[in-house]
Amino acid sequence: MIKLPKPAVLRLRSLTWTVNLMAYRNRNEKPPKLVLNKYNHKKVKETLVNETSGKCAYCESKVTHVYPGDIEHILPKSDFPKLTFEWNNLTFSCSVCNGHKSNYYDAQNPVLNPYSDAIYEHITSSGAMIIHMPGSVRGEITYKLLELNRGNLIERREEALVIFRKYLDAYVKEQNIYLKSLYKKEIIGMISPDKEFSFVLKNSLSFFISKGLNI
């Protein structure tokens, strides 16, 4: 995932917000929500929604279809208060993934960073199921902690896979060159990063290519 430029409100105010927040922390005082939640700014959220295409950065569900979504701290603000307003520490997530992740942090095995980590080195998929790559403790922790195989996610991924495989089947069987190109366009569109569950669909395509599919 590619990080968009920092919103103007953070460029102009994040340093002041951080100084104010740390003043409370240094006095061992609980900062008021008005100070702590400055990151929850309309322009910050708009930019995060745009850079994630309205998808949860972790489970890939299209959050904005049913819920406003959460601004999520990749490194928990409870352990890293100086990063509370740091643009590179913010992403967009569904409330469920945000809740499961909570304040988890392990220096040796942190949750995968959707921007800086090579996700395919740590997790993959088998059908609609998310699984970790052999030997990747971080991958295993990430999908288990966030419960990326929740029942509703499995259902929706399976629905997407059924549609995807129908397009693949139609592409393989179609003899008309123009119609074949239209099916290919649909297939490529479904695995583009802005589409829901593109990670699973892309893995499905890779599997069929490994079995001889020419596309």
Tens of pLDDT, residues 16-68: 999 999 999 999 999 999 999 999 999 999 999 999 999 999 999 999 877 88
Whether 215 is covered by a domain: the verdict is no
User: What is d(CA 157, CA 153) in angstroms, rounded to the nearest whole number?
Assistant: 6
Whether 116 is covered by a domain: the verdict is yes
User: Range of 194's domain?
Assistant: 151-210
Q: What is the pLDDT of residues 190-206, one digit of tens each?
A: 999 999 999 999 999 99
> CB under 8 Å to 203, separation ≥6 — which residues?
124, 125
Look up the pTM and report it: 0.92
Nearest in space to 142 (alpha carbons), one of 127, 120, 157: 120
Q: Which of 59-68, 73-82, 160-169 has the lowest mean pLDDT?
A: 59-68
Domain boundary among 145, 168, 197: 145
Domain shared by 63 and 113, yes or no: yes
| AA letter at 72 | E
Strand partners, 123: 132
Domain shared by 134 and 160, yes or no: no
Domain shared by 38 and 80, yes or no: yes
Whether 14 is covered by a domain: the verdict is yes
Domain shared by 60 and 158, yes or no: no
Domain boundary among 121, 145, 169: 145
Q: Is pLDDT of 162 > 90?
A: yes
Res 156: pLDDT? 97
How many domains is the chain partitioned into structurally?
A: 2
Res 66: pLDDT? 73
Q: What is the pLDDT of residues 117-148, one digit of tens each?
A: 999 999 999 999 999 999 999 999 999 999 99
Domain boundary among 105, 123, 145: 145
Res 67: pLDDT? 84
Domain shared by 98 and 12, yes or no: yes
User: What is d(CA 150, CA 129) in angstroms, rounded to the nearest whole number?
Assistant: 9
Average pLDDT over residues 144-158: 98
Domain shared by 156 and 135, yes or no: no
Domain shared by 58 and 98, yes or no: yes
Q: Is pLDDT of 209 > 80?
A: yes
> CB under 8 Å to 89, separation ≥6 — which residues?
73, 74, 75, 80, 83
Q: What values do phi and psi take at 94, rounded to 5? A: -80, 160
Domain shared by 82 and 128, yes or no: yes
Domain shared by 68 and 111, yes or no: yes
Whether 1 is covered by a domain: the verdict is no
Q: What is the pLDDT of residues 60-74, one digit of tens each?
A: 999 987 788 999 999
CA of 30: how far to CAs of 78, 145, 189, in Å?
11, 28, 48
Domain shared by 165 and 100, yes or no: no
Half-sphere exposure of 43 (CA within 13 A, CB side): 11
